[in-house]
Structure formats: structure tokens, C-alpha cells
Structure 1
């Protein structure tokens, strides 16, 4: 079958946002799926990662169009102007519209770029998608988001291709958490646009794929009139060799400090305030043994200041190509995970699983991340809003580092991107087969 994969960001753009699309492009051809990728040529990104581009198979055709989106640094500056540079910590109920910002100019700027600044890609992406579908005899389309503005392509393509299988792939659930925690704009107008955009896309899509069961349930609950079979979930994964028990238990060279490494962006859903408070309150004998290493972009100035307030305990490494970031796992004692999100599971969590080092998670106590940590026995967790509980976890990690339970390596291996992509391929083939059967039945009528 011939698949068109639509993704705003794709290598050489770096960051975790490109990894799901990359894994589909990399592994779907092993299941007899020919992949065309449509992406933005000048998509803003935290950095370039040529090692990711080298993973794209030669048989994958990548089509690149322009976008009117702002450069990464300028978009961050505009977002800071709209939000006032304030960190977002709490999530408002979906039914409760946030209070409008007081500054009319800020509201006007924010409302111009709805549902997100990447909406400037659509005038280029839509005609390109139509052309590719016709020229390449495309059997199915997968649109992976965020940016959430890309889901508008589902409805636009549906008007041109009434019977074409179109799958919307939500890497993050939108309205319940992401809109409040990390979006460019979350005022009442932004929420109204987001709700309509999501509704149109869900109704016009042939299927909707989420990356967690919790996200699938949450989205399905908003559309009780639609068939449950339309809402599916296929998790994210990692793309390094699964650790063996021998490798994972290999003794680390003795050193003075115990290293905790955090990989990924620090932003609304990963706000580090409670973790930083926990570190500050540690007994000096414990804190002096810790070295906190943050690899990735720190989006909010307030978070950077909080982290730097820890002095020599913390090291901010900034953005690194994926291969270098994953290589840093080898000389770390623990992998640090921080998330306030109850529904979504960050892509880096799966890279942590593949890294084979124990995870220390400051997480939502009712979230899917907690469930996965317990299911895989990959580490410890504490309530992300309870600094005392986080502190106890850190003390336990420092004092009993050699007394960890054996991880469930079989469960961890199941999250490799190759078997997950094979599962995705089977799903695509089923959707295409159903569409073809329906078309034949309509012809015979």
C-alpha cells in the first residue's frame, strides 16, 4: 500500500517531536508500506539533527514545502509577549474558559495565530498533499500532530477525496491538558477554535489514533455519537537496542557524584518547581552527592532561573542531537522524569526505557506514566506536586542505589519502535481494506 505521512516537523529538524513520524517512515517499509512524507522545509526547531536524517530509508520520498511560521527564537519571543512570560502550572477544566488576557494587543496577536502559529503551513501543505495523493496513487493518509493546526488538513482533504482513508494521529491529547499547559494561546477564543478544529477533524477522519489508553478514552468521551472503533491507541516507543539484564546491571565506574540526567524540553507540562524545592530541602549530605544534568531547551525563563538557583548541583547542557543525548545515558546513574500531565506520556519516557537506567519520576499520581513505571518496573515515582515525597524518593535513590527490583525486560522490549510500527502497519491495512470493501459495495448497489 502507498501511504502519505503528513508531519510538520521531520529530520533534519531535531527534538522529540519528529521521532514518531521518523519511526513510521523508517519501519513501515518493512511491512510492505511505501511511504511518502510531506513536511515543512523551514519548520522551526530547537536545533538540527543530521543523524536523524540519516535514518530515513532511501525508498522514502520526502516532499518539503515552505511555511509562513516564525523562526523558533522569534516564535518564542512572541509567545512570551502574549503570555507575559508566565509559567503555566495548573490545568483549567475543559468546560471552564480561561479569563481573557487584559492587554488587547496581546489578545489580538494571540488570536491571529490560531489554533497555533504553524497554521501558516496549511496554504502550502494542502495543495501539495492533493498533488501527491493523485500522483503517487496514495491509499491512505496519516496526519500526525502537534502542531494541532495540521488536523485541519483532514477536513480539507476529505472534501476532495470523499472515500480516502485519513487517519489523524494525536501524539498529545489536546483540549484537556496540552491546551492549558504548553499552548501558544489558551484564552476563550483559542479554546473555541481548538474545540471546533478537533471536532471537525475527528468527524472527518476515518480513524483517530492516540498514544495512550487514557488519551483515547478522554477523546472518545467527547464524541459519544461516534463509533468506539474509530478511536484507537498505539504507543510511542524507543529506537535503541533493548537492554539485557547483564547490560542494565553492569557496575558503573566509581565517581564522587550521583548523576541524574533529564532529557527533553522544560516547559509547562514539565515545570520543575516542586522538584527544585525538593532538592533545596535535601540534607546537605545527600544534596552534595547529586549532580543534576538537564539536556534540552528550557523554554520558560522562570524555570531557567529556578534551576540555576541550585548552583553547582545543576548543569544546563542545552539542546543536543538525539544520538548525543541518548549517549549521555551511559554515564548517568538515574534518568529524571518530570510531568504534570495526567493523560499524555512524553516520547522521552520511552527513550528512558530503552536506555536501561533506572528512572526517577516526579509524575501525576493518577497518570499513565505512573502506570507504565509500575508495569515495567523501570523505576520509582513520587507525586509531582509533593516536594517532600520527591525528596524522600531522591534520598532512597542515593542511599539504596544497588537495591533496585529487576525490570520487566520483556515488557520494555515491546515498546521498541519496530514492533510498534508493525502494529501500525496492520491497522493501516485494515482501514484500507474496509474502505475498499465499502467502495465495492457502493458500486454494486
Structure 2
């Protein structure tokens, strides 16, 4: 008889963005490993992005439980819909460019909604799920964050029912980049640290998506910690042809600090120095892009060489990955972001398109790219190296020789990763 696992998550279709992909795919493959997933999600969530195509990927046989949630973002939209949407999507402007409303919302969010704006869902969820778990003999509860308030549901269910509890961290808690921007008081910061410690020391098992996060959490907890990265899934896609232009595509959100001026500068120089490069090159920006980043790009790159696409659904994103000549991945240049592995990395790796990544040295992304031979990684000061490599890629493009030769990608398939999860359950 299959083991039952109750998965508690905030992000679920029709939510768009990378946060929904991880557990949607686990749910898809868990039955193949004799685990019956039951998914608990909010009934009326305030998602910053929607992708209705993901609804088609929910297995028809899976049980979905829903309960209402009260979120302050809906009230905030009454005062400023744009500010609310911007902050809830994670694109936080630089402090000197924040409006008074944005500053107020960040302060309230950081100091009055601890650990996050979905905390009001904890108490009613514990009440509802306690009865469901007892009635249906659930053996394992899994919580996934962010939002990290989801882990508080697991914490209370563990305390009252003694169920086996696995806490999955798609991102770190107190060391994630935006945490420092929440204008936290000393008291609020201490409350976050206390909650984080409670969760890490109480969960029976902790899941993380990177080796760097595992190292961080190992200093805060004696509980077992396992790395299960995000991954890729095979999906039928329309036939695609490579762009005729020499396209460099960034797919996903470009936050204010995800802004490698060295790259924009190098591209600007190549455009000025080489007419062939200027005529062929296109920087494709697919997804939400902050005004700060756009302003910096436009300092160096002419408007004719920029294509702003905006947000697209998941299938369109996968097609764009295969059409582009090069794929761009950018992370904030910070010690805290070494542990961040964007879910799109693994989709990039199977797109048969070379990857150029810019971020902090010695990151998990750097190690994965090197190990799989799927791209090149550069620091924020690597001007000469970037210029040489981009010129080399352009020559390969002109000779129809721009390609990749990946190795060892099977370990990152969603099914292989789900097998690893099922063994823990």
C-alpha cells in the first residue's frame, strides 16, 4: 500500500514563476515510487504571476485540499496596486529609488508580518489539517518555503500530532538577499532567527537545494540535511529554429541588484568596435526587469539591440531557451547568493544552448556548470575574460558552430530527483 505524504505549499498552479515547479514535478512522479501525494494549498492566494498552462500538468488523480487565506497584499493593493505587485514579486527597488509607499510597505511587511505576509494562514491550517491527518492516517508531512510561514504549520503539526515532518527550503531564510531590505528592527530580526532555529532543530529531516545552504544550515541544526536540487523535465515542445540574430537571452526576473555592469559594458564595446556584431546582436529580456537594470543596460547598449519581451508562460520560456543562441544567467554579487541555484538553470542545461553566467565566485551554479560542461561562469570583474569569450561565441555563431556538449545531466531529471525524495519519505 502506498505511503501517504501531505505536501503543504503556497505556490501551486495557476501560480507562475519558478516557485511552483519544484513540487508540481515531485507530485507528478511520487506515485511511481509508491508514495501517494496529497497537496494542501490556499484557496484564494494573491499570486504576483499567473501561468494557466501549468494547470494541465497537475495529475488528475492527486487530491488537492484548499482552505481560504487572508493576505495583506490584497489590502495593500487598495492603496497602491503597483507597489504591492512589485514587492510581492520580489523586485525591490534600490532604497534611494523607493517611493514613500514602498518604504512603508517594506517596513510593515518586515516588522509586523513575521516571518512573512502569509502568517495568518498558519492557525486555521493547523486546525483543519490536524483533523484531516488523523482521519486519513497521514504518515509524513512536508512543508516547502518560502514563504517560510508554511514551515510554522509543520512545526505545530509535529508538536501536536508527532507526525514525521520534512522541511523543504527552496531558498535560505535569514540569509536570503531580500531579507536585509525589509527594514527589520532588532526585535524583528531576532524573531526571524528564533523561528528559523525552531524549524531547523525540530524537523525530522531538512531538504535544501544547494550545497552552500546545507553548509549554512549545518551550523544551525543537528538534524539530517539532504540536498535535492531543482531539475528539468522532458516536455513536448513545438519545433524550434535558432534565432537568425546573435541572441543572448535572459529568462526570468532581473532584480535591481542582479545587474552586472561589466557585462553591459563589454557588450557595448563589442557593438562599437565590430559592425558585424552590432548588426547581429540582440539582448532578449524575457520576464520582469527592474527599472534600475534597464537604465544601466541602456547606458551601453543601443535600443535597436535590445528586445524586451516581458513575462511569458512556462512553455513559451522553454521554447525561447531553445531558440536563443546564448542563454544568460545572473545572480547578485554577494556571499549570501552563492547558495542560490535558480530552477531555470537545469532547463537551460538541456536546452542545447550555451550558458553565460555572471555571479559571485565559488557559487553552486559555477560548480554545476563546470561539472556538466554546459556553460561558462564569470565574476563581476571579469571584463577581459567576458569580452574574449563573447567574441569567440560570435565567431562560432558566424561559422554555424555554436553548440554545447553536456555531460552527466541525467542526475538532474525530475524523476531521478523524485526517487531520492521518495527514499526519504
User: Does the pair score TM above 0.5?
Assistant: yes
The reply on whether 1:349 has 2:345 as its aligned counterpart is yes
Match of 1:368 in 2: 364
Q: Provide the C-alpha distance between the structure 2 equivalents of 1:417 and 1:394, rounded to a whole number of angstroms.
A: 32
From 192, 197, 200, the equivalent of 2:195 is 197
Question: What is the Cα-based RMSD across aligned positions, in Å?
Answer: 3.1
- State how 1:191-270 maps to structure 2 within 5 Å: 191-223=189-221, 226-227=222-223, 230-240=224-234, 255=244, 257-267=245-255, 270=258
Structure 1 unpaired stretches of 5+? 89-102, 244-249, 429-445
Residue 403 of structure 1 deviates from its aligned partner by 5.7
Contact 2:12–2:20 at 8 Å: present in 1 too?
yes
From 3, 6, 20, the equivalent of 1:4 is 6
Residue 8 of structure 1 deviates from its aligned partner by 0.5
Contact 2:354–2:404 at 8 Å: present in 1 too?
no
Match of 2:33 in 1: 31
Structure 2 unpaired stretches of 5+? 96-102
- State how 1:42-441 maps to structure 2 within 5 Å: 42-69=44-71, 70-71=73-74, 77-78=83-84, 86-87=93-94, 107-108=107-108, 110-162=110-162, 164-180=163-179, 184=182, 188-223=186-221, 226-227=222-223, 230-240=224-234, 255=244, 257-267=245-255, 270-284=258-272, 285=274, 286-298=277-289, 300-307=290-297, 310=301, 311-340=303-332, 341-401=337-397, 407-409=405-407, 411-428=408-425
SS of 1:240 mapped into structure 2: coil
CA change 1:202–1:262 in 2 (3 A) is: same
CA change 1:186–1:368 in 2 (3 A) is: farther
Residue 307 of structure 1 deviates from its aligned partner by 4.0
Q: Provide the C-alpha distance between the structure 2 equivalents of 1:422 and 1:106, rounded to a whole number of angstroms.
A: 40
The superposition leaves residues 353-408 of structure 1 with CA deviations (integer Å, 9 ceiling, x where unpaired) of: 12221111112221010100000000112113544543333223212345668523
Residue 287 of structure 1 deviates from its aligned partner by 4.2
Residue 19 of structure 1 deviates from its aligned partner by 0.4
Residue 278 of structure 1 deviates from its aligned partner by 3.1
Contact 2:243–2:324 at 8 Å: present in 1 too?
no
The superposition leaves residues 99-128 of structure 1 with CA deviations (integer Å, 9 ceiling, x where unpaired) of: xxxx88963453112222222332343223
CA change 1:302–1:28 in 2 (3 A) is: same
Q: Provide the C-alpha distance between the structure 1 equivalents of 2:359 and 2:382, rounded to a whole number of angstroms.
A: 10
> Greater shift after overlay, 49-58 or 124-133?
124-133
Residue 9 of structure 1 deviates from its aligned partner by 0.8
Q: Provide the C-alpha distance between the structure 2 equivalents of 1:105 and 1:117, rounded to a whole number of angstroms.
A: 11
Residue 3 of structure 1 deviates from its aligned partner by 0.5
Q: TM-score w.r.t. structure 1 length?
A: 0.81
Q: Provide the C-alpha distance between the structure 2 equivalents of 1:147 and 1:75, rounded to a whole number of angstroms.
A: 21
CA change 1:113–1:271 in 2 (3 A) is: farther
Q: TM-score w.r.t. structure 2 length?
A: 0.84
Contact 1:41–1:65 at 8 Å: present in 2 too?
yes
SS of 2:338 mapped into structure 1: coil
Q: Provide the C-alpha distance between the structure 2 equivalents of 1:84 and 1:413, rounded to a whole number of angstroms.
A: 33
